[in-house]
Amino acid sequence: MDPRKHSFPPVTDAATRLLVLGSLPGERSLAEQRYYAHPQNQFWRLISPAAGRDLAALDYPDRLATLRTAHIGLWDVVASARRTGSTDAALRDVEGHDIAALAATLPDLRAIAFNGATAFRTGTRQLGAAADRYAIIGLPSSSPLHTIGFENKLPAWEVLRTLLA
C-alpha cells in the first residue's frame, strides 16, 4: 500500500486577501518540505506578477515572506492521501482540509484561486456554501504535467493581481 502523504501548514496571516490552493505537494516538495520545489513547476513564475516581484529569483523563506507582503496565502485542498508519485490522478484515500474554516479566520479574504482542475473540483466541493462569499478562480495547473506552456497559462494567473488591489 502507498504511504500516506501529508500537506504543509497554510501560509497565511490576517491580511491575506487571496488564497491560492493546490492539491497536495508532489514528491520533490514533500522531500524538501517546500511548496512547489520541483524546478520544472511554474508556480513561482506564474504567481510573480500578482506578487509584484520575481519570486523564482528568491530563496524559499523570502518567497513566502513576499507572498505574505503581497497579501497572498498558500495552502492545499488535500490534508493527506495515499499516492504513488506526484500526479493528482494517483491520489487515493483523500482527506481534505477544512478550507471554509481557514477562510473564516481571514478577515480580509476576497478571493480563492485553485491551482489546477483537481484542486478546483475538490476545493469548491469542500467550500460548499462558503464559496458564495469569495471570488472563485480556476487556474491552469502550474505543474509541468499540464503541458499547455507557460505563455498559455500566464494570462489566467495575471488576473490574480486585480484581486489584490
Q: Which three cell numbers stand for residue 45?
A: 513564475
Helix/strand/coil (H, E, C) string of the chain? CCCEEECCCCECCCCCCEEEEECCCCHHHHHHCCCCCCCCCCHHHHHHHHHCCCHHHCCHHHHHHHHHHCCEEEEECEEEEECCCCCHHHCEEEEECCHHHHHHCCCCCCEEEEECHHHHHHHHHHHHHHHHHCEEEEECCCCCCCCCCHHHHHHHHHHHHHHCC
d(CA 130, CA 142): 25
Out of 41, 42, 48, 143, which one is annotated catalytic?
41
Active-site residue, 152 included: no
Positions marked catalytic: 41
